[in-house]
Amino acid sequence: MEHVFCVVETLSKAFSQISELLGIQWAPMNIPMSRRLQTLAAFFWIYLILLGEALSIYLFIQLVYSRFWWVGILYGVWMLNDIEICNRGGRASEWVRNWTWWYYLRDYFPIKLVKTVDLDPSKNYLFACFPHGVISLGAFGNFCTNATGFQKLFPGMTCHLITLGGHFLVPFFRDLALALGVCSSSQESLMHLLDSKKYQGNCASMIIGGAAEALDAHPKEYKVILNRRKGFIRVAMKSGASLVPVFSFGETDLFHPPSNPENSLLRRVQEKVRQVTGVSPMFPMGRGMFQYSYGVLPVRSPVTTVVGAPLEVKKNLEPTSEEIDAVHAEFSERLATLFETEKVKYLKYHEEAKLVIT
């Protein structure tokens, strides 16, 4: 027995030395169960984002080549018949948006939604969200789930997160996205959601910078792409929907991706892949499940999404370039003002935080 204890002690010391050498900080054993569940929620969520589509395609192929092939064929036929639903308002499920999973995910960071003014539920709104960050946690947590109380803060309003239409071509994954209220970023989809003759109180939430902006997601940095993004202005003018600046403070602090300055080899490769696929290849370097030093889990850092005051937009079915530029300039000014006004409340490093609009 004494020999066994000696072996265990030796292994323990070796393990400690290796951990120290690699700089691994292990999580303590006495963490409350609630925090363990929060970490588990974040674990499943990040892998859903990173591998969910690939896993969905794999499962569909396995289904088609199994003895239940007929189920796969029926699902495929139904999906093709249902393919345009993402352009026609989607198919949100309050049951899915209320899953306990999302509440644990909210508390892991935590995620918080803040309003600066009330919104009129008789109108429709186009939420212009910044920054994209690595995985747009603020937009997802606040506008795809009910965990942060969107409906309580904005009674009578319904929110839809907007994403690339290609995601709705993936079997199974598309159904979860639709259940969360996600819709396509096509102009057809946006005009449908913001049509005042069909809906009142609809909020279409777009992450304006998109995948390109994700490449600039580094801790304590807020570089957003806006100067060359004017399509959302055109949509707002054609639909008459009010434009609302939305900013998620802390979004860029969740991961520590490798440095990729402009014209670096890594940046050129990332840009090339993005141009071909529409998705930025990111390296979500964060923490692990049982240690704080290595892994793809986001770090525990608060994300506060602030919904600013709406910019009323006059309906104009054929806006000129000059008219679009004028609204764009006013919106850019409001976004900058929102950042400068609110950063003091939600960023510990607010004195050094600068908003860079490109």
Nearest to 216 by CA among 158, 131, 329: 131
Give, for all 358 residues of the chain, the pLDDT tens digit. 555 445 445 545 554 555 555 567 787 888 899 999 999 999 999 999 999 999 999 999 999 999 999 999 999 999 999 999 999 999 999 999 999 999 999 999 999 999 999 999 999 999 999 999 999 999 999 999 999 999 999 999 999 999 999 999 999 999 999 999 999 999 999 999 999 999 999 999 999 998 889 888 889 999 999 999 999 999 999 999 999 999 999 999 999 888 888 888 888 888 888 877 777 777 778 888 888 788 889 999 999 999 999 999 999 999 999 999 999 999 999 999 999 999 999 999 999 999 999 9
Give CA–CA dist 208/231, Å, rounded: 9
Tell which residue, 353, 311, 304, 312, has the closest CA to residue 332. 311
Encode 55-103 in three state secondary structure. Answer: HHHHHHHHHHCCCCHHHHHHHHHHHHHCHHHHHCCCCCCHHHHCCHHHH
Global pTM? 0.91
The amino acid that residue 78 corresponds to is: W
Give exposure, 176-188, as e/b (b: 16+ Cβ within 10 Å). bbbbbbbbbbeee
Tokens of 252: 């860029």
Within 10 Å of residue 273's Cβ, how many Cβ atoms?
A: 14
Domains of the chain, start order:
31-255+293-357 (3.40.1130)
